[in-house]
């Protein structure tokens, strides 16, 4: 069913900036005072802070110190899978903060065991055992180290548009941002071309994307660069941080074959795609590929710091024999594990995977309709409730227009919609959309209506009607 984007464009005044009367945790906060203190005391860690101070969050919305209610179409940092302040999650946090929060790292607790059991029950054979950490970067760091210990080799292959974290080995496998200014990175890291159906120069005679030639060419370069110690390849099923680029159908299976031929492990990072986001419980189901190691984060903790490393009993056995160690202060902490266990329970109990698939189809239909109305939309892509909308200055040349994209994003925010805009030059001008998968049809329509008005009222959007 097509979302109701009206053919009759109404004046922008019909969508007003919405003030909220809902109680906020910091409802008496002073925006100017907080903004001043933030500038004075907060250390920059590589991003520019948004101007508004967020003083509350509930369900599908976040609230500013000035009382502005904003529909959150990025689930926080792509993490609040079940929305902000989900009451059942809140109860789990309350119970475990009071009765079972944090333990010595060598101790084990019921929620950790339960989460590992539940993951094993929904994942394919070969993904049988898990341990739990705090962030996606941490889980990828642990997975890469595991692959090195298991294979006895040290070279790691990543994709040019991936984001795996900012720790040493995870950072070494991502190539579009964050690598400069620190001297040499980890040795033995190699890059495959970033799969980009919209912009790749690899084309079949009919103009379609020739990802197989591109992938094989990439491996030929790695074969020449490698010193003969290839341990693993790490990949995301959707390259989100680089602009929501979906692996082409067949790509993951081809990657699995290359890894097998090279005697390498395949690591799949499902930080954003996992736990129902893309219309499958895990994105690996889309191609029926079982990686040697699977990492989860973001969506598993619904906004709490929780990540997972899942692998086979055989890989674990060998790594134990070779003294594998990834011992941290918060490994297998009971409180976040209890939250992750509840997240999985709710996703399965409430049939949210199918909901994500169905609402995702409506989201993409609505975004595609927008692309028929505004010439600045160069591409719409994604899967399930995970979408990218790329803004260009010219559809023929595909030249990015970062200024126009920012103007549209600013207008959408003013009207009450947050859809993160990638702004770095290497992956800029793309709206990254990933609302909580509990989003309702009316909330989806609300967001599409706001987005339509943002495009309509922004000069330069190239109206086609």
pLDDT tens across 67-120, in order? 899 999 999 999 999 999 999 999 999 999 999 999 999 999 999 999 999 999
pLDDT grade for 13, boundaries at 50, 70 and 90:
very low
Residue owning tokens 């969506």 = 299
State whether 345 and 357 are in the same domain.
no
pTM, to two decimals: 0.93
26 found inside a domain = no
Domain count along the chain: 2
Structure tokens at 411: 């207008």
On whether the CB atoms of residues 173 and 267 are closer than 8 A, the answer is no
CA distance 254 to 223: 16
* Average pLDDT score over the chain: 92
pLDDT tens across 292-330, in order? 999 999 999 999 999 999 999 999 999 999 999 999 999
What length is written for the chain? Answer: 465
pLDDT tens across 386-401, in order? 999 999 999 999 999 9
State whether 414 and 345 are in the same domain.
no
143 found inside a domain = yes
Q: Choose the final residue of a domain: 328, 349, 370.
A: 349
pLDDT tens across 372-381, in order? 999 999 999 9
- Residue 269 sits at φ, ψ, to 5 deg, of -100, 110
Q: Where are the alpha helices (DSSP H) in 57-179?
A: 75-78, 87-99, 110-122, 136-151, 168-172
State whether 247 and 119 are in the same domain.
yes
Q: Where are the alpha helices (DSSP H) in 372-434?
A: 402-415
The range of the structural domain enclosing residue 333 comes to: 88-349
333 found inside a domain = yes
Assess whether pLDDT exceeds 80 at residue 423: no
CA distance 410 to 388: 17
Spatial strand order in the sheet of 69-72: 54-58, 61-64, 69-72, 417-418
Report the pLDDT value the prediction gives residue 21, as an integer from 0 to 100.
54
State whether 247 and 388 are in the same domain.
no
State whether 240 and 256 are in the same domain.
yes
State whether 135 and 195 are in the same domain.
yes
State whether 117 and 249 are in the same domain.
yes
CA distance 25 to 94: 16
Structure tokens at 309: 């490393």
On whether the CB atoms of residues 465 and 456 are closer than 8 A, the answer is no
- Residue 108 sits at φ, ψ, to 5 deg, of -125, 155
Annotated catalytic residues are 163, 236, 269, 272, 298, 432
Q: Choose the final residue of a domain: 317, 349, 381.
A: 349
CA distance 155 to 153: 6
State whether 155 and 196 are in the same domain.
yes
For residue 159, give Cα distances in angstroms to 82, 191, 222, 377, 430: 29, 5, 12, 25, 19
- In order, the DSSP letters of 280-329 are SSSGGGGTT---SEEEE-GGGGTTSS-EEEEE-HHHHHHHHHTT-----T
- Contacts with 166 (C-beta within 8 Å, 6 or more apart), sequence order: 137, 178
Report the pLDDT value the prediction gives residue 61, as an integer from 0 to 100.
96
- Residue 246 sits at φ, ψ, to 5 deg, of -85, 135
> Which CATH number do you get for residue 464?
3.90.1150.10
- In order, the DSSP letters of 267-284 are EEE-TTTTTTTTSSSSGG
State whether 150 and 247 are in the same domain.
yes
Longest dimension (CA), the chain: 69
State whether 183 and 120 are in the same domain.
yes
> Which CATH number do you get for residue 192?
3.40.640.10
- Contacts with 349 (C-beta within 8 Å, 6 or more apart), sequence order: none
CA distance 297 to 178: 20
Q: Choose the final residue of a domain: 349, 373, 404.
A: 349
State whether 309 and 242 are in the same domain.
yes
State whether 143 and 228 are in the same domain.
yes
């Amino acid at each position: 069913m097509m979302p109701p984007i009206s053919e009759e464009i109404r004046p922008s005044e019909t969508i007003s900036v919405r003030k909220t009367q809902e109680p906020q945790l910091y409802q008496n906060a002073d925006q100017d005072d907080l903004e001043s203190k933030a500038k004075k005391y907060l250390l920059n860690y590589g991003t520019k802070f948004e101007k508004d101070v967020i003083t509350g969050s509930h369900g599908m919305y976040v609230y500013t110190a000035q009382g502005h209610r904003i529909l959150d179409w990025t689930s926080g940092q792509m993490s609040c899978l079940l929305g902000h302040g989900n009451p059942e999650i809140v109860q789990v946090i309350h119970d475990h903060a009071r009765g079972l929060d944090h333990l010595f790292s060598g101790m084990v607790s019921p929620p950790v065991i339960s989460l590992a059991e539940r993951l094993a029950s929904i994942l394919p054979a070969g993904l049988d055992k898990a341990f739990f950490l705090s962030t996606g970067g941490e889980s990828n760091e642990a997975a890469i180290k595991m692959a090195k210990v298991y294979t006895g080799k040290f070279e790691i292959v990543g994709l040019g548009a991936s984001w795996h974290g900012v720790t040493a080995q995870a950072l070494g496998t991502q190539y579009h941002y964050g690598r400069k200014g620190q001297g040499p990175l980890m040795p033995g890291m190699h890059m495959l071309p970033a799969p980009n159906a919209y912009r790749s120069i690899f084309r079949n005679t009919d103009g379609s994307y020739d990802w197989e030639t591109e992938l094989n060419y990439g491996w030929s370069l790695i074969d020449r660069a490698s010193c003969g110690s290839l341990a693993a390849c790490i990949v995301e099923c959707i390259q989100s941080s680089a602009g929501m680029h979906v692996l082409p159908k067949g790509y993951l299976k081809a990657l699995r074959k290359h890894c097998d031929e090279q005697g390498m492990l395949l690591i799949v990072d499902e930080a954003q795609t996992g736990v129902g986001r893309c219309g499958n419980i895990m994105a690996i189901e889309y191609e029926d590929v079982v990686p040697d190691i699977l990492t989860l984060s973001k969506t598993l903790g619904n906004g709490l710091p929780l990540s997972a490393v899942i692998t086979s009993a055989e890989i674990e056995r060998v790594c134990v024999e070779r003294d594998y160690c990834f011992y941290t202060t918060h490994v297998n902490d009971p409180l976040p594990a209890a939250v992750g266990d509840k997240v999985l329970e709710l996703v399965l109990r409430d049939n949210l995977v199918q909901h994500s698939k169905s609402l995702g189809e409506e989201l993409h239909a609505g975004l595609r309709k927008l692309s028929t109305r505004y010439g600045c939309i160069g591409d719409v892509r994604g899967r399930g409730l995970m979408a990218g909308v790329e803004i260009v200055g010219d559809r023929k040349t595909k030249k990015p227009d970062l200024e126009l994209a920012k103007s549209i994003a600013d207008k959408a925010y003013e009207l009450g919609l947050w859809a993160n805009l990638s702004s770095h030059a290497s992956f800029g001008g793309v709206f990254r959309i990933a609302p909580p998968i509990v989003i309702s049809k009316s909330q989806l329509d609300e967001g599409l209506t706001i987005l339509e008005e943002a495009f309509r009222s922004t000069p330069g959007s190239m109206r086609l009607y």
